[in-house]
A and B are shown apart, each in its own frame.
Chain A
Amino acid sequence: MGFWSFLIIFCFLSFYIHWYGTTKALKINEDITKGSKLPSLPSYYGTYSLLWLLLPSSIILICWFFFKPYIIDIFLKESIPLNLVDNFKGNPSMLIDTIKATNPEKIFPGTNPLIIDSAAYYQTLTTNSDSYVFLLVLVVGLISSLVSLRKVSTFFRARQAVEKANINLLIFCSVIAIITTIGIVFSLIFEAVRFFERVPFFDFLFGLAWSPQTAIREDQIASQGSFGAIPIFTGTLLITLVAMAVAIPVGLLSAIYLAEYARPTVRKTFKPILEILAGVPTVVYGFFAAITVGPFLKDFVSSLGLSMASESALAAGGVMGIMIIPFISSLSDDVITSVPTSLRDGSYAMGATKSETIKKVILPAALPGIVGAILLAISRAIGETMIVVMAAGIAANLTANPLEAVTTVTVQIVTLLVGDQEFDSAKTLAAFALGITLFFVTLLLNLYALKIVQKYRERYE
């Protein structure tokens, strides 16, 4: 049975089960001449038996999806002729991979015919096993839904059962997001632990030099790399500072204009335009920074008599700041608009001017929300990759001069993981250590931001 025929039969079966359960409940209702009818509406009984079709089917399918490769490997291993194993030069698991990679219809000349036979067997195994599983799904689903149909009686409350199933579905979906996050953290932690087996934790966290090299041969000269994360974290900090120096004033002032001074028509056109900035792909910002802003700044700075690297923290940070403007302006605009009118009126009634009211009443009242917006924007800037990859360079200079090239955590992760990698060298594993450190930094920032935003909400709601 192929996938599509399975799908069609399965859909048909679902409709049928739902219809059958509903009809059965209707019939029972008709048969009850006196006394109370079924405790739930008939369609709930249909839905209930449908759930008993879907639940076992999806469990079987999900299990099959995860365990299929292992099960098939077991069958394949048993089928391989012994003399093929003996003649194969190399690891048995390599033999399995070779068989899987061989296409029995398009063979390289000189391939061992036994391998070709095994490859053909592997292909039939894959398709046939799918068919069996699909058949199993249909049979098990049908049986369990039919069994559930026997429960239809005046003693069974189908509505409560269906609603409970709904709640469980919602819980399941929200757990998926949490489990994914936990999964990400653990995958980072495992690799990071392997890194810290090679490089001491404090050397990583407080080391002043970053040059991720590892020796290929043991006797190689000058091969010892150093994995001090300070230069790249200061690089990240420097670029974030530049970005914030651009984004905070521009974003905040435009938010004040939009929220307080702009006429409704102006606001209606301006706000979406500002938000378009947030929709530009970061890679576009990246080449804008590298090709347009970088050279322009370099020319400008050298006309002032200073020297500037063509890849600089200033260009990358500046463009990143522009990217973040809509974040700050849009969030701050919302916060400022939600300051109660009664406060504005109170201030105007005291004879305060508009700017006095904004400075002394509205901004202080909106400050927690604005700070929250800024912190969210900062964690966005720290995690930003594409712009810095293209415009900031990869040299890990420990400097506070925005005219020099610096590198950031995300850039280093990219450069460490791009290309052919061996997962037992400190060089590759360093990426995971950087990743987990960055994760914790942004996590703390986000938690702090959320806390501030929450505090602000409590004040007015």
Chain B
Amino acid sequence: MKETVKIKSKKLNVFYGEKKALSNINLEIPERKVTSLIGPSGCGKSTFLRCLNRMNDSIEICKVEGQIFVDEQNIYEKNLDPVLLRARIGMVFQKPNPFPKSIFENVAYGPKIHGLANSGDELNNLVEVSLKKAGLYDEVKDRIDEPGTSLSGGQQQRLCIARAIAVSPEVILMDEPCSALDPIATAKIEELIDELSKNYTIVIVTHSMQQAARVSNQTAFFHMGSLIEVGKTEDVFSMPKEKKTQDYITGKIG
């Protein structure tokens, strides 16, 4: 099957002040597949992820050069509104960050600000569907008005995923979504990622190579701000082309 490319970066350079965080990244991310970004700490993988929905805009000293195309549209074009972009590209963070509101309000937040539901019933329905997609509905359906912060860590993270899904994004970015979770909660999130990849393009940053191997179709290895190698996950892990990749996955660097 021919893969369609959802996101494509061209000659992407990112600077934090004087420091160059990413240099000349050319990466294609296929649609409705899971792409994992691996590499040692500080290699720029999270920076790359945050470029994809322009979250780096809020960091004043951050400067981005080059182009990123989402569906053939350059998102660093001058007149592109990052607010609309972020509605299309959802994000889940390292630490679960539910808003200090009820579970319902957390999920309803996005639809409300984007005016996606015309009536209360529609909103209820949307929240329910999103929670179901995130595999959380059965656990919280009786306490949907309790604060989101009262949930366990893994449930909070799935709540954040439900919140992201609620605005029907095309892409979901995940920045080490399991690093604050225990193995059981991690397994649940990984199952969920697998399930979600049928409908969404997912880009996940992870420190765990096992996780990358388990959940992703494509793996990109970053080192010192450069993209070293990208390819099918099985290929990258079983027969890496680059020596650095081999060193990293066998634990010699990192």
Contact = CB atoms under 8 A, between A and B. Distances in A.
B114 interface: yes
Nearest to B91: A349
B55 A350 contact: no
B202 to A, nearest CB: 15
A360 B91 CA distance: 18
Contacts of B95: 342
B93 A350 contact: no
B20 to A, nearest CB: 23
B178 interface: no
A360 B55 CA distance: 19
B110 interface: yes
A162 interface: no
Tell me if B's interface is mostly helix, strand, loop or mixed: helix
B167 A349 contact: no
B110 A351 contact: yes
B100 A349 contact: no
A425 interface: no
A364 B101 contact: yes
A350 B163 contact: yes
Contact of A350 (B58, B100, B149, B164): B164
B114 A351 contact: yes
A264 to B, nearest CB: 8
Contact of B97 (A340, A351, A356, A459): A340
B97 A348 contact: no
> What does DSSP make chain A's interface, helix, strand, loop or mixed?
helix
Interface in B84-110: 84-87, 90-91, 93, 95, 97-101, 109-110
A383 to B, nearest CB: 33
B160 interface: yes
Interface in B72-87: 83-87
A96 B45 CA distance: 89
A350 B90 contact: yes
Contact of B93 (A346, A351, A356, A459): A346
Instruction: Please tell me the size bucket of the interface on B.
Output: 20 to 34
A259 to B, nearest CB: 14
Contacts of A344: 58
B1 interface: no
Contact of B167 (A342, A346, A351, A364): A351
Contacts of A346: 93, 97-99, 160, 163
A350 B167 contact: yes
Contacts of A140: none
B97 A345 contact: yes
Interface string B132-144: 0000000000000
A361 interface: yes
Contacts of B167: 350-351
Interface string A348-371: 111111001000110011000000
A168 B90 CA distance: 58
Interface string B116-153: 00000000000000000000000000000000010000
A349 B92 CA distance: 8
A345 B93 contact: yes
A349 B55 CA distance: 7
A343 B91 contact: no
A153 interface: no
Contact of B109 (A342, A350, A353, A365): A350
B90 A349 contact: yes
B99 A343 contact: yes
A353 B101 contact: no
Contacts of A361: 99-100
Nearest to B169: A351
A213 interface: no
A348 B110 CA distance: 10
Contacts of A350: 86-87, 90, 109-110, 113, 163-164, 167
A365 B109 CA distance: 14
Chain A: interface size category: 10 to 19
A347 interface: yes
Interface in A223-266: none
Contacts of B47: none
Nearest to B90: A349
A346 B86 CA distance: 11
B53 interface: yes
A364 B87 CA distance: 22
A37 B86 CA distance: 71
A351 B83 contact: yes
Contacts of A345: 55, 58, 91, 93, 97
B99 A348 contact: no
A344 B101 CA distance: 14
A365 B110 CA distance: 17
A342 B175 CA distance: 12
A349 B113 contact: no
Interface string B10-43: 0000000000000000000000000000000000
A364 B100 contact: yes
A342 B176 CA distance: 14
Contacts of B84: 351
Contacts of A459: 100, 149
B60 to A, nearest CB: 8
A343 B97 contact: yes
Nearest to A459: B100
Given A348-B55, A351-B83, A360 B109 contact: yes
Contacts of B90: 349-350
B65 to A, nearest CB: 22
B45 to A, nearest CB: 17
Q: Closest 10 CB pairs between A and B?
A: A351-B87, A349-B91, A351-B86, A342-B97, A346-B97, A350-B110, A365-B100, A352-B113, A356-B113, A361-B99
30 contacts: A342-B97, A343-B97, A345-B58, A345-B91, A345-B93, A345-B97, A346-B93, A346-B99, A348-B55, A348-B86, A349-B53, A349-B55, A349-B91, A350-B90, A350-B109, A350-B163, A351-B83, A351-B84, A351-B86, A351-B113, A351-B167, A352-B109, A352-B113, A353-B113, A356-B113, A364-B99, A364-B100, A365-B99, A365-B100, A459-B100
Given A349-B53, A349-B55, A349-B90, 9 more contacts: A346-B98, A347-B109, A349-B86, A349-B164, A350-B86, A350-B113, A351-B83, A351-B87, A353-B83
Interface of B: 53, 55, 58, 83-87, 90-91, 93, 95, 97-101, 109-110, 113-114, 149, 160, 163-164, 167
